Structure 1
Amino acid sequence: MSDVVEFLKTRRSIKPREMTEPAPSPAELDTILTIAARVPDHGKLAPWRFIVFEGDARVRAGALIAKAFADKHPAASPDDVAAQQNYLTEAPLVIALVSSPKQHPKVPEWEQQLSAGASALNLVSAATALGYGANWLTGWAAYDREVMTALGLAPEEKLAGFIHIGSRPSRAVDDRPRPALSEIVTRF
């Protein structure tokens, strides 16, 4: 069995709070983003883009998320608002994957959204293959138009999620239960 197959069979997400410094180097980040852009893309539309949050940018973006949360939840406790403020600071690097569909007579929007999802998985896989921990998360902020606008998304764009990346913990990472093929596979 090839190393690639074994890698795919054993890839696991790492919780952002378990990640530490360092984040990928600039060269590694370029590699990760290059791999993330190598996905099925009918029409060569590149219907996705990336927003990189590193260093203080994670704090600035967290402030925008916390403001949107406080606006929608005026009775929220200071601890709840602080948790939103820190959403992007647990991992040393966060990449927002933006689904950015283009008008095209032959490539439906749904297909373009699937391409964005494939890009997110390639991003996670590339970071993991380079030895980092990675986790693709959404949460309420990924669906909130106020947050999307504050982060610079156009009205037709959506957040496919936030990919958190950092160094893996030194301990072994537990796997989650996976579905049995007998439960998810049918034959026509």
Structure 2
Amino acid sequence: MAHSPSHAHAAGTVHDGTPLERQARLEALDLLVHRRSLPLRSLVAPGPSAEELDLLLTLAARVPDHGRLVPWRFIVLEGEARGEAGAQLDALYARQNPDLAPAKASMWRDYLMRAPVTVVLVSRPDPAAKVPVFNQVLSAGAAGMALVSAAAAMGYGAQWLLKWPGRDPDAAALLGVKPGEQVAGFIHLGSPAEIPADRPRPQLADIVTRWAPGAA
């Protein structure tokens, strides 16, 4: 049974190198084993409440961040704002695609209205920082994965997508993305309406090597 660290090993104190008692979090491991990305069509109401969403975003911000630069932020689309944002995106898409079929006139409004809540994950690396931009971009990705995992832990489903509104600079600007920023993904959140089957995962033999002298 795991116990709390002793006073001698309290957080922030220097210890003598003796390992602390290992505290396994079996529920967390089980969550990682069973987490699935749900199809957008299967994310239904209710979505996270305001308090739950605040907690999810707080947890999403607890990721490796070299230099404490906070090279990411979140834009939340919920309620009526989803339809309003979608309508503006549809208007822009129609201007860019004058031959657009009438059946697709409201495709982006429909897209944003599917999930109760959508979080736009924005990468905002600081090129002047000592920390390489690549590391800052990886931190944004970590924030997205933390959000997806936290949503699963709370019992919600999540789908991380990156479609035209996140790839097109003018569309992203409509959502509040600033110059120098880039959309890392649209993370859609809602209650799961199905339990998707797992997809094939890579075999460790195909993705893991162990370095040894002269093996390069």
TM-score normalised by the chain length of structure 1: 0.94
What residue is the counterpart of 2:53 in the other structure? 29
Tell me by how many angstroms 1:105 deviates.
Answer: 3.6
**Alignment pair present for 1:155 and 2:179:** yes
Deviations 1:34-81, CA, capped at 9 Å, x for gaps: 001000111111111111111111111111221232122211112223
Match of residue 184 from structure 1:
207
Number of the residue aligned with 1:45? 69
| Map of 1:6 onto structure 2 | 30
Cα distance between partner residues in 2 of 1:33 and 1:92: 16
Q: Cα RMSD (Å) of the superposition?
A: 1.4
| Bigger Cα Rg | 2
Of residues 188, 194, 198, the one that matches 1:175 is 198
**Offset of residue 120 of structure 1:** 0.5
By relative contact order (CA 8 Å, sep 6+), the higher-ranking structure is 1
Give the corresponding residue for 2:8.
none
Cα distance in 2 between the residues matched to 1:46 and 1:173: 34
Q: How far off is 1:85 after superposition?
A: 2.3
User: Pick from 148, 154, 172: which aligns with 1:124?
Assistant: 148
Aligned residues: 187
SS in 2 for 1:27: helix
TM-score, structure 2 normalization: 0.82
Percent identity, aligned pairs only?
Answer: 48
Name the aligned partner's letter for residue 167 of structure 1: S
| Alignment correspondent of 1:68 | 92
For residue 18 of structure 1, the aligned residue among 34, 42, 45 is 42
Equivalent position SS for 1:89: helix
Aligned counterparts of 2:161 and 2:52: Cα–Cα separation in 1: 21
C-alpha distance in 2 between matches for 1:89 and 1:8: 28
Structure 2 alignment gaps of length 5 or more: 1-23, 212-216
- Point out where structure 1 has 5 or more consecutive residues left out of the alignment: none
Tell me how far apart the structure 1 counterparts of residues 101 and 33 of structure 2 sit (CA, whole Å).
Answer: 42
